Chains A and B, each alone.
Chain A
Amino acid sequence: AAGVIQSPRHLIKEKRETATLKCYPIPRHDTVYWYQQGPGQDPQFLISFYEKMQSDKGSIPDRFSAQQFSDYHSELNMSSLELGDSALYFCASRGAPRYEQFFGPGTRLTVL
């Protein structure tokens, strides 16, 4: 069965640089979520999109933005990177009316 695809899997950036993370949801899933998991932490919700419209927003810094495109893939754009942005970033997708969220393998971002 098709799963959520995230790219890149690993990313190393310098402070103040920008990064773009991509997510391709499971086919026919209409909702995409982004989560951030710091070292030794539980995942924290950043932002979600339902049918290409932003549906909810969590603790996402103003330096971050995201969008969902017409083909349902989503991108998380991160600017002015800080050391504290180093984390595992997950994308998850869900297909209504079911509630299960399926996670991608994650993008491990390291900011030096």
Chain B
Amino acid sequence: AQKITQTQPGMFVQEKEAVTLDCTYDTSDQSYGLFWYKQPSSGEMIFLIYQGSYDEQNATEGRYSLNFQKARKSANLVISASQLGDSAMYFCAMREGQAGAQKLVFGQGTRLTINP
């Protein structure tokens, strides 16, 4: 069963608008964490933000914030004031496994295009 679901294969947004990328997850663990990564066309995987399941506050990193709704099992990424350089593939991921391992399981990704 898919553990991370990103239902938006592609999104088109006007520059300077805010954008929300959806991510839902499935786990029976009490302790888990959600990540967002950005992958530009050049191919590298850039870490954006992390949210732990026990964190009481939603994570924020500059223009990125994570809208964590534990009861709904969602961890949406919000990008404020989008820029042309935000055009990329975005992956939601969840860590799973025992301590010392904690591999990442990724969703299918959302391709974001920012229009001028």
Which residues of chain A have a CB within 8 Å of any CB of chain B? 31, 33, 35, 42-45, 48, 50-51, 55-56, 58, 88, 90, 92, 94, 96, 99-103, 105-106, 108
| Docked-complex contact A42 and B108, CB < 8 angstroms | yes
- Rounded to whole angstroms, the CA-CA distance of A58 and B106 in the bound complex is 13
Question: Which residues of chain A are near B37, meaning CB under 8 Å?
Answer: 103
Contacts A42-B91, A56-B97 known; A33 to B103 CB distance under 8 Å?
yes
Q: How far is the CB of B106 from chain A (nearest CB, A)?
A: 4
Interface size on B, residues (CB 8 A): 24
Q: Which A residues lie within 8 Å of B106 (CB)?
A: 42-44
For the residues of B in contact with A, the DSSP-based class is strand
Q: Residue A99 contacts which of B45, B52, B105 (CB distance < 8 angstroms)?
A: B52
**A42:B109 contact, CB within 8 angstroms:** yes
Q: Does B102 contact A (CB under 8 A)?
A: yes
What residue in chain A is nearest B37 (Cβ atoms)? A103
Contact A50 B109 (CB under 8 A): no
> Is B50 close to A, CB under 8 A?
yes
> Per a CB cutoff under 8 Å, which of A45, A51, A55, A103 touches B44?
A103
Distance A82 CA – B43 CA, assembled complex (angstroms):
22
Are A94 and B102 in contact (CB-based, < 8 A)?
A: yes
- A42-B107, A45-B103, A48-B103 given; name 10 further pairs at CB < 8 Å: A31-B100, A33-B103, A42-B106, A58-B103, A99-B102, A100-B47, A100-B50, A103-B44, A103-B46, A103-B47
